[in-house]
């Protein structure tokens, strides 16, 4: 059996570091927003080349607070994408603003900058591209337009820990960048977690207050805040895992490149395109295919798990039909939702297993 990801294998490889870190927290008597979280914030800010990092309880909370720090609220519009996990749009809705969807570039499946400027109105308060699958959106083109209109860019980097665009780290280019530490992400907690990184002192101060009931000091609530705090246990675990992240990322890249070499002339699937000016961190390795159901079935029968990220774009989700979008409005997002298929990828996957998955995909090309 080859799973889509294998968190038990990861745990086994770092058990000896994780367990003492967790026991240290249990013995400390301090369980929320303490020294482990504070140290992790410093270490993650350094990792992202950003001056501040504010840890929160989920990636969705990170997006929510980054939007609030940019003063996004009712009556505003946020330009984002529909080909993403639903949380991107939900975070916009939490603020009372309206998500406006820009179609994706068919090659990278990230926000198409050529379609961005026409969507800007007097209500546009922020632009939120998603670094989908671990590859950054075209930040120069997006920033050029955003800067011309004075609109802040908030990076949804929830899938892109350590990704780079022209040598610059995800999260460090926009006004802020938001990451998730959901267990299956490239850097994952043993539970929920998230963080906002920013170079803006004022945004950092505001986000720090908002995550902890809007307090300036204890029981002095200057803002209407939230309980979005990170647990000490998660902070301690994330500190251990952060030390391994670069090696894990390189292992993902090696496996992805192996897949792409094996599938370069495939008759059944199209390998993902890694842009030359970016460091793709392969949170997801998604091929495109017109025979998705058949391929998933064949893989399944060979004990290989695959995934769909994502089968329904946000603008066609029942929960968001009130936004007024209809099928056909975002043709590239809709085509991608029909055709993408995620293959197993994680650092502990062996190159032999990669070869086996590729061989099964190819075997299908000759029978169909
Ligand atoms: C995972 C994810 C989120 C949400 O993160 P949570 O930690 O699950 O709240 C937001 N956006 C994208 C693109 C994601 O992949």
DSSP string, 247-289: HHHHHHHHHHHHHHHHTTT-SS-BPPPPPTTEE---S-EEEE-
Write b or e for each residue in 19-47: b if 16 or more Cβ atoms lie within 10 A of its Cβ, otherwise e: eebbeebeeeeeeebbebbeebbebbbeb
Ligand 1 contact via 57 beta carbon (within 6 Å): no
Ligand 1 contact via 60 beta carbon (within 6 Å): yes
The third-level CATH classification (topology) of the domain covering 245-367 is: 3.90.1150
Identify which of 209, 130, 212 has the alpha carbon closest to the alpha carbon of residue 171: 130
Ligand 1 contact via 172 beta carbon (within 6 Å): no
Residue 124 bridge partners (DSSP): 77
Measure CA 8 to chain center.
22
Catalytic-labelled residue, pool 185, 206, 241, 318? 185
How many A from CA of 82 to the centre of ligand 1? 14
d(CA 286, CA 272): 6
d(CA 1, CA 353): 10
Identify which of 303, 333, 340 has the alpha carbon closest to the alpha carbon of residue 130: 333
- The structure tokens 């990230």 sit at 110
**Whether 211 contacts 226, CB under 8 Å:** yes
Q: Is 32 strand, coil or helix?
A: strand
Ligand 1 contact via 135 beta carbon (within 6 Å): no
> Which is it for strands 154-156 and 176-180: parallel, antiparallel or unpaired?
parallel
How many A from CA of 189 to the centre of ligand 1? 13
Give pLDDT, residue 335: 98
Q: Is 173 strand, coil or helix?
A: coil
Q: How many residues does the chain have?
A: 368
**Whether 137 contacts 131, CB under 8 Å:** yes
How many A from CA of 133 to the centre of ligand 1? 11
Ligand 1 contact via 194 beta carbon (within 6 Å): yes
Domain boundaries of the chain, sorted by first residue:
7-102+109-242, 245-367
Nearest atom within ligand 1 for CA of residue 61 = 9
Nearest atom within ligand 1 for CA of residue 194 = 7
- Backbone phi, then psi, for 294, in 5-degree steps? -60, -45
Ligand 1 contact via 85 beta carbon (within 6 Å): yes
**Whether 215 contacts 224, CB under 8 Å:** no
- The structure tokens 């197993």 sit at 344
How many A from CA of 282 to the centre of ligand 1? 15
Give pLDDT, residue 366: 55
The third-level CATH classification (topology) of the domain covering 7-102+109-242 is: 3.40.640
d(CA 49, CA 110): 23
Per-residue pLDDT of the chain (368 residues; tens, 9 = 90+): 999 999 999 999 999 999 999 999 999 999 999 999 999 999 999 999 999 999 999 999 999 999 999 999 999 999 999 999 999 999 999 999 999 999 999 999 999 999 999 999 999 999 999 999 999 999 999 999 999 999 999 999 999 999 999 999 999 999 999 999 999 999 999 999 999 999 999 999 999 999 999 998 899 999 999 999 999 999 999 999 999 999 999 999 999 999 999 999 999 999 999 999 999 999 999 999 999 999 999 999 999 999 999 999 999 999 999 999 999 999 999 999 999 999 999 999 999 999 999 999 988 665 54
Catalytic residue check, 143: no
Give pLDDT, residue 365: 60
- Token pair listed for 291: 């025979």
Which helix H or strand E contains 165, and what residues bound it?
strand 164-165
Mutate to test the pocket of ligand 1, among 158, 163, 192 (most ligand atoms within 8 A of CB): 158
Q: Which residue stretches of the chain are H helix?
A: 7-28, 35-48, 59-69, 87-94, 139-149, 201-210, 232-262, 292-301, 331-339, 351-367
Residue 227 bridge partners (DSSP): 212
Q: Which residues contact 131 (CB under 8 A, 6 or more apart)?
A: 110, 137, 155, 156, 157, 159, 160, 163, 170
**Whether 196 contacts 172, CB under 8 Å:** no
The answer to pTM > 0.85 is: yes
Q: How does DSSP assign 50-80, residue by residue?
A: -SEEEEES-HHHHHHHHHHHTT--TT-EEEE
Ligand 1 contact via 158 beta carbon (within 6 Å): yes
Nearest atom within ligand 1 for CA of residue 185 = 1
Nearest atom within ligand 1 for CA of residue 180 = 7
d(CA 67, CA 365): 46
């Amino acid at each position: 059996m080859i799973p889509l990801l294998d968190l038990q294998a990861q745990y086994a490889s770092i058990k000896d570091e994780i367990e003492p870190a967790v026991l240290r927290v249990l013995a400390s008597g301090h369980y929320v927003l303490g020294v482990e979280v504070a140290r992790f914030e410093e270490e993650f800010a350094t990792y992202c080349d950003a001056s501040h990092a504010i840890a929160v309880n989920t990636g969705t909370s990170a997006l929510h607070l980054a939007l609030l720090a940019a003063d996004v609220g009712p009556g505003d519009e946020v330009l984002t994408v529909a080909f993403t996990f639903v949380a991107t749009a939900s975070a916009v809705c939490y603020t009372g603003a309206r998500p406006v969807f820009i179609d994706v570039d068919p090659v990278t499946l990230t926000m198409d900058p050529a379609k961005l400027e026409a969507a800007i109105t007097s209500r546009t308060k922020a632009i939120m591209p998603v670094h989908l699958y671990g590859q950054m959106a075209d930040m120069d083109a997006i920033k050029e337009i955003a800067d011309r209109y004075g609109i802040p860019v908030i990076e949804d980097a929830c899938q892109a820990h350590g990704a780079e665009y022209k040598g610059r780290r995800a999260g460090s280019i926009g006004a802020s960048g938001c990451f998730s530490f959901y267990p299956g992400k490239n850097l994952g907690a043993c539970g929920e977690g998230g963080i906002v990184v920013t170079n803006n002192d004022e945004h950092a101060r505001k986000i720090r207050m908002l995550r902890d009931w809007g307090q300036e000091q204890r029981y002095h609530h200057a803002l209407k805040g939230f309980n979005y705090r990170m647990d000490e246990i998660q902070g301690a675990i994330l500190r251990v895992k952060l030390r391994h992240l670069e090696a894990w990322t390189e292992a993902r890249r090696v496996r992805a490149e192996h897949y792409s070499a094996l599938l370069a002339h495939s008759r059944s699937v199209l390998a993902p395109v890694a842009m030359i000016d970016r460091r793709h961190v392969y949170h997801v390795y998604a091929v495109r295919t017109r025979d998705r159901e058949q391929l998933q079935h064949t893989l399944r029968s060979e004990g290989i798990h695959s995934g769909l990220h994502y089968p329904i774009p946000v603008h066609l989700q029942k929960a968001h039909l009130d936004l007024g979008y209809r099928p056909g409005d975002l043709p590239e997002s809709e085509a991608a939702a029909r055709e993408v298929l995620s293959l197993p990828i994680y650092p502990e996957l062996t190159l032999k297993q990669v070869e086996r998955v590729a061989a099964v995909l190819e075997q299908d090309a000759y029978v169909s």
